[in-house]
């Protein structure tokens, strides 16, 4: 095992974490995964993901909560991680309207524990999940990492923006190289049950109506999981250096005088929600009963990722069409849930 290929993935039993761990093991990394296995959604789905990972040589798992500083610190003392990918977080815009305190605990307190541990362990590169939700009230399309994002419209978005600010502080104070990844509506096999594709698929199969917000006038930059993972694995070894052209007079939010970077990872092709539903109906060979509703608090009407920086630095652009991605999801869903 190459000495520089030891990596910690937090949220390893989550949707993105599961797929990332599989890929990293395949790529020759020694992967340690942690997860608190909470019950925000179906714990059995998380366990199914974990069961697959535990069969892989090169993968180890510990059940640890990010907020458990004592055990986080112990983990870093007992291991020499060259890279850390922080994916553990309380997810979901809509849930943040119901249970805001969960977001401060996991997304900020937990992230601080990771930052402190990485600082003291002199980790080579910390990569962490941000979100397209940080663009908030921005309407300039496509969303660019070079634009200001100071108007979040959900506490989830605010917590992710806070992660970017916290990471910059540690990059500036302690020269800890950090890269934040703004994910755009990730979907695919083993996806989250609280996401639209999962909810719609289950309801259509069961003959139940689906809630279509903003009367269907939503656009999302749906990004297939394999594209997210490809972007991530290319960025892990790309350790950011200070940007010598950065100026405090005209500060670019995406880089810094510190070893700090931000990237969008999105499909760069927004899809109308009604087209998304049409494709799903075709794959399921069933029509959806649609319940049209106004836009929900905290939601934005459109997302659209500018991925020029990702293409320039990682040489990669997500490109899986929605038709192909939904087909793969439906095939997985039917097999996993034994749908005839």
pLDDT bucket at 93, cuts 50 / 70 / 90 = low
Check pLDDT > 50 for residue 1.
Answer: no
Condensed to tens digits (0 to 9), the pLDDT of residues 205-216 reads: 999 999 999 888
At 10, list the tokens.
């937090």
At 84, list the tokens.
């850390």
Check pLDDT > 80 for residue 94.
Answer: no
Query: What is the Cα–Cα distance from 102 to 201, expressed in whole angstroms?
Result: 28
Q: What is the mean pLDDT of residues 279-289?
A: 96
Condensed to tens digits (0 to 9), the pLDDT of residues 102-112 reads: 788 888 999 99
Q: What is the mean pLDDT of residues 327-333?
A: 98
Query: What is the Cα–Cα distance from 231 to 181, expressed in whole angstroms?
Result: 9
Contact 119, 73 (CB under 8 A): no
Check pLDDT > 80 for residue 137.
Answer: yes
Condensed to tens digits (0 to 9), the pLDDT of residues 235-264 reads: 999 999 999 999 999 999 999 999 999 999
Q: What is the mean pLDDT of residues 150-171?
A: 94
Check pLDDT > 50 for residue 2.
Answer: no
Residues that are catalytic: 156
- Average per-residue pLDDT for the chain: 94
Check pLDDT > 90 for residue 89.
Answer: no
Q: What is the mean pLDDT of residues 294-311?
A: 90
Residue 304, helix vs strand vs coil? coil
- The model's pTM is 0.95
- Kind and range of the H or E run holding 63: strand 59-63
């Amino acid at each position: 095992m190459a000495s520089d290929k030891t990596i910690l993935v937090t949220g390893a039993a989550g949707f993105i974490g599961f797929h990332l761990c599989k890929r990293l093991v395949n790529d020759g990394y020694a992967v340690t995964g942690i997860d608190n296995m909470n019950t925000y959604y179906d714990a059995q789905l998380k366990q199914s993901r974990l069961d697959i990972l535990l069969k892989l040589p090169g993968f180890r798992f510990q059940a640890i909560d990010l907020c458990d500083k004592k055990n986080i610190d112990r983990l870093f003392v007992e291991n020499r991680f060259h890279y850390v990918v922080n994916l553990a977080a309380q997810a979901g815009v809509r849930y943040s309207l119901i249970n805001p305190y969960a977001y401060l605990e996991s997304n900020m307190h937990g992230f601080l524990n990771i930052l402190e541990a990485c600082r003291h362990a002199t980790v080579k590169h910390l990569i962490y999940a941000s979100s397209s939700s940080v663009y908030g009230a921005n309407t300039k399309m496509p969303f660019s990492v070079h634009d200001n994002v100071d108007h979040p419209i959900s506490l989830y978005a605010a917590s992710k923006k806070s992660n970017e600010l916290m990471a910059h502080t540690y990059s500036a104070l302690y020269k800890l190289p950090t890269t934040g990844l703004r994910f755009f509506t990730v979907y695919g096999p083993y996806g989250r049950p609280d996401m639209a594709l999962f909810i719609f698929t289950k309801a259509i199969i069961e003959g139940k109506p689906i809630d279509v917000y903003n009367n269907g006038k939503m656009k999302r930059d749906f990004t297939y999981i394999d594209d997210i993972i490809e972007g991530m694995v290319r960025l892990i070894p790309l350790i950011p250096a200070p940007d010598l052209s950065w100026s405090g007079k005209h500060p670019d939010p995406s880089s810094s005088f510190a070893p700090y970077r931000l990237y969008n990872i999105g499909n760069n092709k927004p899809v109308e929600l009604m087209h998304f539903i049409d494709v799903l109906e075709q794959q399921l060979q069933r029509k959806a009963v649609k319940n049209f509703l106004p836009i929900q608090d905290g939601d934005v009407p459109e997302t659209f990722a500018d991925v020029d920086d990702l293409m320039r630095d990682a040489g990669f652009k997500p490109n899986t069409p929605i038709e192909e991605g939904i087909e793969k999801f439906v095939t997985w869903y039917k097999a996993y849930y034994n749908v005839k």
